[in-house]
Amino acid sequence: MGISKQQQQRLNRWALILSIPLFLGSWEIISRSGVVNSVLFPPPTRVAIALYQWATEGSLIVDVAMSLSRVLVGFISGAIAGIVVGILTGRYQFMANLLSPVFQLLRPIPPIAFVPIVILWFGLSELGKWFLVFWGVFFTVWIAAHLGVQRVDKTLIRAAQCLGTPEQRMLPEVLLPGSLPYIFVGLRTSVSISFYTLVAAELAGTFSGVAYRIDIAQQNLQIGQSLGGLLILGLISATADKLFGAFSKKIVWWS
């Protein structure tokens, strides 16, 4: 006895369709049932209203734009620096000997631990936020590029040498494309890292931003907006990750 394969497949499909509605529904019921304090744990309908008000009467667009700009500036600068330095240390033993010990020392320091120092150095300026995101991204991309260059198929390098590829053309012709699949793995990890770091950066003190707004709303006991902010952060971060995944599939399609 049991259910047929077809029935099983139909059940599986319904599980997927109902996943999010069930989650929101249970949340709504629990919040409103009185088991928990609905001020501290508002139901999704109230979160939606808070989000709507934030968007229409508040500064949602500005907050999202500010947060995105911090992530973008930190991510892009960290990624470029990480790739360049990683290729140098991966390719030249001298550069590796010079820089790797320092980087290995600094790399494990969580960016969040830098917040007090960053406030001292940069005040509440944007530079401090960029620096923190940069810090989070740089080391991840650096190590990916460093290892990527070293893991380029040795036979490919030999094949290129036998085809008369001069040393200065080796980088653009073989080493960079050969290490791109590794670099993109590092870059994709860094997309998530840059959002983690963004939160630390905005909690450190600023005047706008999604994580900043979450903090402020909490202080005003507007928990609906706080939770809405979390949803927004999750949504943006997940979208960025998906977009980057599609982008990297397009760029390093052969891996």
| Contact residues for another protein, defined by CB under 8 A | 153, 155-156, 158-166, 169, 173-174, 177, 180, 252, 254-255
By beta-carbon proximity to another protein, the closer residue of 58 and 177 is 177
Longest dimension (CA), the chain: 77
By beta-carbon proximity to another protein, the closer residue of 49 and 252 is 252
- Which residues make Cβ contacts (< 8 Å) with residue 195, sequence separation at least 6? 71, 233, 236, 237, 240
Instruction: Classify residue 38 by burial, with Cβ atoms within 10 Å: 0-12, 13-18, 19+.
Output: middle
Q: How far is the CB of 199 from another protein (least distance, A)?
A: 37
Q: How far is the CB of 244 from another protein (least distance, A)?
A: 19
Q: How far is the CB of 156 from another protein (least distance, A)?
A: 6
CA-angle at 104, arms to 137 and 131, nearest 5°:
30
By beta-carbon proximity to another protein, the closer residue of 77 and 165 is 165
Q: How far is the CB of 178 from another protein (least distance, A)?
A: 8
CA distance 150 to 246: 26
By beta-carbon proximity to another protein, the closer residue of 56 and 155 is 155
By beta-carbon proximity to another protein, the closer residue of 99 and 251 is 251
By beta-carbon proximity to another protein, the closer residue of 36 and 153 is 153
Neighbours of 227 (CB within 10 A): 22
- Which residues make Cβ contacts (< 8 Å) with residue 234, sequence separation at least 6? none
Instruction: Classify residue 83 by burial, with Cβ atoms within 10 Å: 0-12, 13-18, 19+.
Output: buried
Q: How far is the CB of 168 from another protein (least distance, A)?
A: 11
Cα-Cα-Cα-Cα dihedral sign, residues 203, 216, 42, 63: negative
Q: How far is the CB of 211 from another protein (least distance, A)?
A: 39
Instruction: Classify residue 58 by burial, with Cβ atoms within 10 Å: 0-12, 13-18, 19+.
Output: middle
The number of angstroms, rounded, from the C-alpha of 67 to the middle of its chain's C-alpha atoms is: 12
CA-angle at 21, arms to 61 and 47, nearest 5°:
35
By beta-carbon proximity to another protein, the closer residue of 112 and 170 is 170
Q: How far is the CB of 79 from another protein (least distance, A)?
A: 20
Residue identified by tokens 């450190």 is: 204
Contact 81, 138 (CB under 8 A): yes
